[in-house]
Amino acid sequence: MKFAVLVFPGSNCDIDMYHAIKDELGEEVEYVWHTETSLEGFDGALVPGGFSYGDYLRCGAMANQSNIMTALKDFAAQGKPVLGVCNGFQILTESGLLPGALLRNKNLKFMCRTVTLKVENNNTLFTNQYAAGEEIQIPIAHGEGNYYCDDATLAQLQANNQIVFTYSGENPNGSLEDIAGIVNEQGNVLGMMPHPERAANEIVGGADGLKLFKSIVKQWREQHVNN
């Protein structure tokens, strides 16, 4: 399976994402600069964290105007997996690929630590290697991770089982209903604030995030290799 790691001016988690795919997962991966106009030849797309365009205007707002975003929207429309982490999640909401928005943390402070997540839906292409209700340890590092949406959108997320991860115990940023990660209606686009790529090897404190990437590869192989 071949992954694209999108890179914008100000991205700073692109190397972490690349490492998780190449060295921990053992799959193909390439960086794709934001000025590119195609994702042809890739099987999955990863939108990393950081501070794209310095977070000017709003987090992810300027990145959404980049050339590569048209290709990413087409890529997602084809049903291919798209993962956005932290600033990547913010970019996905700005682009309309996911509903809602990420607001300032409730305490108005940047937070960087490991949190506990609960797997609310393990029947997605991103979570099939987890158990339902499994609690995992994943790092966060954000100042605007407070997920918000209106009542109608929340009802839709709940009805469609689109809430994939929630914060368990402590809600570090004030997110609505403890939401830490959601998928689109089709289930092929995931946005989450915590960083699974920073939890891909026990040497850095844990490998709970690696199962997320293994889940993507497992489903892709079932669809493309075993058929």
The catalytic residue positions are 86, 195, 197
Q: Are strands 2-7 and 28-33 parallel, antiparallel or unpaired?
A: parallel
Residue with tokens 């990863």: 46
Adjacency order of strands within the sheet including 179-183: 28-33, 2-7, 44-47, 82-85, 189-192, 179-183, 163-167, 111-119, 135-142
Contacts of 207 (CB under 8 A, 6+ apart): 24, 199, 200, 201
Please give the span between the terminal C-alpha atoms of the chain, in angstroms, as a whole number. 15
Sign, CA dihedral 61-8-112-84, equals positive
> In terms of residues, how long is the chain?
227
Rounded to whole angstroms, the Cα distance separating 191 from 153 reads 15
